[in-house]
Amino acid sequence: MSSTPAHRLLPLLLLATGATVLRAQSTTPADDDLMTNESVESRIGELGRRAPEPIEVTPADARGMSIDDLRPPGARLVREGAFLTNRRGRVAQLSTGHWVYLFDADESGDAEPPMLLSPSLRLTEMVRVTEARPDTVTFLASGEVFVYHNRNYFMPQSFATLPTPSDRSADELEARDQADRDAIATLVKGFATDDDVEMATDGSDPSVESLLVPFNTERRERRVNPAVAGGRTDQPASLRREGAMLVLQRGHMRRNREGLWSFVIDNDADVAPSRGDLPLALEPCLLLEEMEELVRVHGEQVALRVSGRVFVYQGENYLLPTMFLVDYDPSGNLVPGQ
C-alpha cells in the first residue's frame, strides 16, 4: 500500500479546521443555555446593587434620661503632668468650698479650661490675697496640672499679681465676669450634689450663680475663711511641713469626715503616735484613682506603702502620691471584694 504524501494532507487539514471555526462562529450567545440562565443574570444584577445601610442599635432611653447622658463627657482636658507657665487668670470660689482658676485667653484667643485648685500653702496665699482686696485680683501663675475623675486640677508653684487696668469700663468688667461664669458652667456641671447647691426649679443642671460665690468689681464685704485670715500661713506644730517627702510609708486608705480619701499611717502597737502621724488627705490625681480602684476591689484592709510629697492647707496635711506598692501580708490581707 502506498502512503499519501504529506503535502497532500495539509490542504485537507486546513479545510477541516476552517469548517470547525465557521460552525463555532455561527453559534450565537442566545443558543448557549448557560448565557441565558436567569439565575446567573439575577446574580449579576445583585452584585451591582448597593449594599444596604447598617442598622444602628442604640440603648433604649431610660425615663428621665436622654441618649446624651450615656455618652462620655466631651470636656477638653489638659494631660496630667503638663506644666503651665505664666498663665494669666483669676481665682473664684464655688459655694461647695472649692477654689477655681479661671484662665484668660492668650493673644490667639485660646485659653485652658477652668481648673480646680489643688490644696497647698500656695493656694492659701492666693486666697488670702483675693479676700484682702476689694477688687478682682488678676494673677500670673505657674504650676502643674493633674487629672482626677475627668477634671483638671491646677497646683500653682509660683504666682504674681498684676495691676488692675484703670481704663476699663464697667461694661468691660461685667463682660469679663460673665465670661468667667460661662467658662465655669462646664466645670460645675454635675459637680455638686443636691446638698451642695440649690437646684433649678425645672430639674436641670445646678445654677452657675448658686455654685459660684458672687464676685464683682464693687467694694463689698468678703467672706473671710478663718483658716487663712490674719495674714499668716503658719502651720501647727503637729503637722508635717510642706515639701516633706514620704518614702514607702506603710498605711491604709480611709475616708475622712468630709468623705474624701486619706492615708492613715500605721504605728506599732507599743508605740504612741508621733506628731507627724496624723492622717494625710490625698491630693486628686490619676494615681489616686488607681488606689481607689484597688481599695474598691479588695477593701480598706489592704495595706499600702506610699511615697509622695506633703502639702499644707487650712491646718491639714495633704499627700500627693507619686507611687504605691501593695504591702502583701502572707496571713491574708488581700480578700476579693465580691
Do both 169 and 282 map to the same domain? Answer: no
Angle at 79 between CA 78 and CA 83, to 5 degrees: 85
- 126 and 190 share one domain: yes
* Vertex 220: Cα angle to 96 and 122 (nearest 5): 50
Q: Give the other-Cβ count within 10 Å of 77's Cβ.
A: 15
Q: Is residue 11 part of a domain?
A: no
Looking at 171, 196, 230, which one is the last position of a domain? 230
Average pLDDT, the chain: 72
Domain final residue, candidates 206, 230, 254: 230
Greater confidence (264 vs 54) lies with 264
Whether 118 and 158 share a structural domain? yes
Is 128 a domain residue? yes
Residues 211, 282, single domain; the answer is: no
pLDDT tens digits along 66-110: 554 455 455 578 999 999 999 999 998 887 788 999 998 888 878
C-alpha cell of 4?
499519501
Full residue range of the structural domain in which residue 135 is found: 83-230
Contact 324, 249 (CB under 8 A): no
pLDDT in tens, 34-62: 555 566 667 666 666 666 666 666 655 55
- Model confidence over 266-284: pLDDT tens digits? 876 545 555 557 899 999 9
Residue 300 lies in a domain: yes
Instruction: Report CA dihedral (147, 153, 157, 163) to the nearest 10 degrees.
Output: 140
My answer on whether 172 and 296 are in the same domain is no
Tally the domains of the chain. 2
How far apart CA 152 and CA 213 sit, in angstroms, is 20
More confident residue, 224 or 252: 252
Decide: helix, strand or coil at residue 138. Answer: strand
For residue 75 the three cell numbers come to 470636656
139 shares a domain with 216: yes
Any residues with CB less than 8 A from the CB of 248 and at least 6 apart, and which? 305, 306, 307, 325
In this predicted model, which residue has the larger pLDDT, 290 or 72? 290
What pLDDT score was predicted for residue 73? 52
d(CA 237, CA 109): 46
Rounded Cα distance, 256 and 239, in Å: 16
Q: Which residue has the higher pLDDT, 265 or 172?
A: 265
Taking the C-alpha atoms of residue 261 and residue 255, their distance in angstroms, rounded to an integer, is 5
Residue 294, classed as helix, strand or coil, is helix
Is 125 inside any structural domain?
A: yes
Q: How is residue 70 annotated by DSSP?
A: G
Last residue of a domain, one of 201, 230, 259: 230
Residue 312, all three cell numbers = 499644707
Q: Are residues 198 and 133 in the same domain?
A: yes
In a domain, residue 292? The reply is yes
Residues 222 and 281 in one domain: no
What angle is formed at CA 175 by the lines to CA 171 and CA 177, rounded to 5 degrees?
Answer: 120
Q: Same domain for 103 and 194?
A: yes
Query: Looking at residues 251-278, what average pLDDT do you find?
Result: 77
Do 222 and 256 fall into the same domain? no
Burial class of residue 211 in the structure, from the number of CB atoms within 10 Å of its CB (0-12 exposed, 13-18 middle, 19+ buried) = buried
SS3 call for 313: strand
| Total Cβ atoms within 10 A of residue 226 | 8
Beta-strand relationship, 280-282 and 316-326: parallel
Asked if the structure places residue 61 within a domain, the reply is no
Residues 202 and 92 occupy one common structural domain = yes
- Assign 133 a pLDDT band (cuts: 50, 70, 90): confident
Q: What is the amino acid identity at position 174? A: E
The DSSP bridge partners found for residue 116 are 100, 153
> What are residue 311's phi and psi, to 5 degrees?
-130, 165
Q: Are residues 92 and 134 in the same domain?
A: yes
Residue 333 lies in a domain: no
52 within a domain of the structure (yes/no): no
